[in-house]
Amino acid sequence: MRKIILTLCAWATLLVAHAQTFNFGYCNGEVSTTTSWGDMGVGNTSAAIFIPSSVLSGMAGNEITTIRVGLTTRLNIDELSVWVRPSLDGDNLAEGKLNRKQKRVQQGWNEVNLNEAYTIENLADGLYVGYTYHHTSLSNAVSVVGSTPEGTAFFKKNDNTQWEDFSDKGAISIEAVVSGSSLPQYDLVLNSVAIVPNLAEGMTAYQLKADVANVAASDIEGFTLTISGGGIDEVTHHVAQTVESGRQANVAFTFTASNVIDASQPISVSISSLDNATDENMANNTMEASFAAFQRNVLVEEFTTQRCPNCPRGAQEMNEALHSNDIYGERVSVVCHHSAFNTDNYTLPCDVDMLWLFNEGGQAYAPAWMINRQARYAQNVVQTGQKQAIYFISSPSDFAAELDMEMALPTHLMLGVTATLADGQVNVVVNGVRDNDFDLANPLLTVYLTEDNIDDRQDSSNGMIDHYQHNHVIRAYNSTWGDDIAWEGNTFTANYTFAVEDDWKKEDLKVVALVANYDAESNLNCAVENSASAAVSFEETGQTTSINPTAVVCNANPSRSIYDLQGRLISKNLSTRQLVNSSTLKKGILIVKGADGTTRKVIVK
């Protein structure tokens, strides 16, 4: 009898050990503290994530027991319902609810049990997991974080609106808690993959960016990707990165192909192996990569001077726009022309020459901007009645919309640039490749050497600022409108050398290269085809600094100064271990600048 009881206990222990749980979602367990969506008044707001059939197949037979909902606020929410559906507007396959009588909805994560667990089926059209909350007044509670694969995030503002695909805005904080005794142990999914040229590393260098997800119960300790097709030899790359159960991971690396990728042929990327196990579901391991052979970047040129009282405000609006989207940091370059409102200590001949692009009968003004020198603006024309390349910022969001529109335009040229400081000189290498549709009548190459974080005087609407942070200042350049390009077939390589003066800070030097058309007969026909930029590299010899996001801390030997986005000095000469209490600072984005040239962006909330 005792033997039988022990045997039953052993079986019970085995069953408990085999019952596993993991959370499926795209948000990596995060809830946003800054990005939220919702609606005003009284009503219902909904959000959902999509689970594709390729993922469901590995979880079939197990159960969704609970849905985790991450909210940025509980303000004015009196009920939270969760559901599982075959379509966004379909009937609930399972549901659950929280209200004030049961358990109060809270800011952060809410775990809502389904009334009855949903047994996962391998639905050909996938599955939607979501929530709806009822609000009695304004409530922006929908949390959006990071990034997510296309077609996996959805938002419905109220009962009278349609579902919106929110995938371009990020991942919605929703997780399905999956439980069962037959969960897959190892299943790594390739969610998205993109390949773009990386000409800074060479004519056949490419950058791969991929999103992967671990949709199984065990951690994956590393994996290998294989790239094939596109007319190149097969490439394998090992990713030494652990992806925890139920979590997503972003992968980015540069590889060198055997030759230039043929964009007319598909390129396949596969998760070919896992480091610590065999993938149990190979059906979701392969994707055709999106290949942007030619991706348009944006050159922003700002007209400003030290004597311009409205320029600090304009610079702040531009910086707010540039910090509103991480992609701008990768694909937008800025140079400043110190002209259009008198001249100053930083004015160079090219800055004055650029005034020709003001199509206003000889008039010029600052602040003003050009976006790839596109002559499509008319709001400031006071003389000729024609469009011009000069743009005036009406708001940060309007400026961001202009950048988005420009990045979406096609281009037929790609550039890559590298810059190295040695022996008092910056050595620049610019690589370029064009396709067969490249048709600029007079393409010329311009290269600027710029410096950031220059502390100097600046006039403003509130009087003179003694310590202002000047950025994107042109220190050297090859020629105003550019040099002829020595093409070799459809590629070119150009080399430049710029002497560096002793008072220029090497940590703040950057090179911007661009190819633009130059039409000496028309200032409406000088648009930039594409551009690229790179920080100047040099051998590191100094100490580094670190920043606590909740306070501004200086823990390295060099002193620190704090500026706002307008470049105005907030505090200076902060010594080792000195702390500035963030409660005494104005909310917003601040720049911490070190005497050693290092800079950090800090958000004060």
Sequence ranges of the domains in the chain? 20-180, 188-291, 298-535, 552-604
The confidence score (pLDDT) of residue 80 equals 96
Strand pairing category for 108-119 and 63-71: antiparallel
Burial pattern 497-520, b for ≥16 Cβ within 10 A else e, equals ebebeeebbebbbbbbbbbbbbee
The confidence score (pLDDT) of residue 556 equals 34
Question: What is the per-residue pLDDT across 506-516, written as a single tens digit (0 to 9) for each?
Answer: 999 999 999 99
Side-chain-side CA neighbours of residue 518 (13 Å):
17
* Residues comprising the chain, all counted: 605
The confidence score (pLDDT) of residue 147 equals 87
Q: Which residues of the chain have pLDDT under 70?
A: 1-18, 100, 102, 361, 379-385, 540-605
User: Is 188-291's fold the same as 298-535's?
Assistant: yes
Cα–Cα distance list, 102 to 31, 94, 105 (Å): 23, 19, 9
Query: Architecture of domain 20-180 in CATH?
Result: Sandwich (2.60)
Longest dimension (CA), the chain: 105
Burial pattern 150-167, b for ≥16 Cβ within 10 A else e, equals eebbbbbbeeeeebeebb
Pick the CATH number of 188-291 from 2.60.40.10, 2.40.170.20, 3.40.718.10, 3.40.50.300: 2.60.40.10
Distance CA 335, CA 512 (A): 8
The confidence score (pLDDT) of residue 103 equals 78
The confidence score (pLDDT) of residue 542 equals 42
Structure tokens at 162: 């349609």
The confidence score (pLDDT) of residue 591 equals 63
Structure tokens at 451: 């410096």
Cα–Cα distance list, 423 to 475, 494, 539, 596 (Å): 17, 20, 11, 19
Distance CA 184, CA 277 (A): 12
The confidence score (pLDDT) of residue 554 equals 33
Topology (CATH) of 298-535: Immunoglobulin-like (2.60.40)
The confidence score (pLDDT) of residue 387 equals 82
Instruction: Provide the whole-model pTM.
Output: 0.71
